Amino acid sequence: MRLLVVGAGSTGGYFGGRLAKAGRNVTFLVRRSRAENLRKNGLRVISPHGDFSIAPKLVLAEELDSAFDAVLLTVKAFSLAAALDDVAPAIGPGTMIIPVLNGMRHMDVLAERFGKKAVLGGVCKIPATLDGKGRVVQLGNFHDLIYGELDGSQSPRIQALDAFMQGAGFDARLSEAITREMWEKWIMLASLGAITCLMRGNIGQIEAAPGGLDFVQGLLDEVVAIVSAVGEPPSEPVLANAKAMLTAKGSSLTASMYRDLQQGAAIEADQILGDLVARGQKAGLSTPLLSAAYTNLGVYQQQVR
């Protein structure tokens, strides 16, 4: 199987790098500036599970001239539109597209452009970032990549993809309920992002502040209400785990969106919060806390632009 990883940042660089290190046929589609860094220094990963460096196989958009068996789409959600044109030559009649973007809007965009049959469901869970030297730095121990057919079927192609992903140094899992897992991830992303960005602090600091626990519970309730109305309700264990993580005493947990905000970088507020607010409004739900967080980040985005 030939895999094209779109992007070699913290997500694509980590999972694609692990796969390439394990001997899988992996090519990275990257911008010219990133290609120059990778050709000079290699793809370097700093991880609690072991540091490594590889000489990655790279391709620029203008060099793509054939279809791949699978495409792992790891770009930021706000970069999706530009990425679609770049990756189009790699999409053939039998290509599987595995998106691990945040939110759910990208699923409709991909299906409209390449056809619903080409698109699989995908979820990744990894705390990672690029440092000033262009290295992928894993910030925690977990590194999960989850994928599956949207209808939950065990098709030959998804089984082949699963075999390709297994044993590469991260936790790969084939899911029969990938759509629900995507909605569940959105609950955690939106809640954690809204809570830490609006309050400008980590979970431990917010929990310890006056009214902090009530705020966290109220915002989580809003997010869960939207997802339950327009998507798939979360399982009880997932909901209990989310509440525990978002209210843990002394926790240093923050959202990647908050870390991007602190660095003055572009953020995925529209895709993670805005789209959720819009779906809630369409369903007739009142979401004052989530809406306040989205408005707050809208002001930030104007300043960044």
- The beta strands (E) that lie in the chain are given as 2-6, 25-29, 43-46, 52-54, 57-59, 70-73, 96-99, 121-125, 128-130, 136-138, 144-148, 171-174
Q: Is residue 10's pLDDT more than 90?
A: yes
Mean pLDDT of 168-180: 97
Q: What is the pLDDT of residue 180?
A: 96
User: What CATH number is given to the structural domain containing 99?
Assistant: 3.40.50.720
pTM of the model: 0.91
Domain of 279 in residue numbering reads as 181-304
Q: Which of 156, 176, 196 is the last residue of a domain?
A: 176
Q: What is the pLDDT of residue 140?
A: 86
Q: What is the pLDDT of residue 76?
A: 86
Q: Domain check: are 160 and 233 in the same one?
A: no
Enter the DSSP assignment of 272.
I
Q: What would the pLDDT profile of 22-63 be if each residue is shown by its tens digit? A: 999 999 999 999 999 999 999 999 999 999 999 999 999 999
Q: Which of 159, 176, 193 is the last residue of a domain?
A: 176
Q: What is the pLDDT of residue 77?
A: 84
Q: Domain check: are 20 and 142 in the same one?
A: yes
User: What CATH number is given to the structural domain containing 267?
Assistant: 1.10.1040.10
78: confidence class by pLDDT, cuts 50, 70, 90: confident
Q: What would the pLDDT profile of 236-289 be if each residue is shown by its tens digit? A: 999 999 999 999 999 999 998 998 999 899 899 999 999 999 999 999 999 999
Q: In angstroms, rounded to a whole number, what is the distance separating the alpha carbons of residues 118 and 70?
A: 9
Q: Give me the active site residues, please.
A: 185
Q: What would the pLDDT profile of 101-131 be if each residue is shown by its tens digit? A: 999 999 999 999 999 999 999 999 998 888 9
Q: Domain check: are 70 and 171 in the same one?
A: yes
Q: What would the pLDDT profile of 227-238 be if each residue is shown by its tens digit? A: 999 999 999 999
Q: Domain check: are 146 and 35 in the same one?
A: yes
Q: Domain check: are 241 and 262 in the same one?
A: yes
Q: What would the pLDDT profile of 192-214 be if each residue is shown by its tens digit? A: 999 999 999 999 999 999 999 99
Q: In angstroms, rounded to a whole number, what is the distance separating the alpha carbons of residues 148 and 130?
A: 28
Looking at the structure of the chain, the number of domains it has is 2
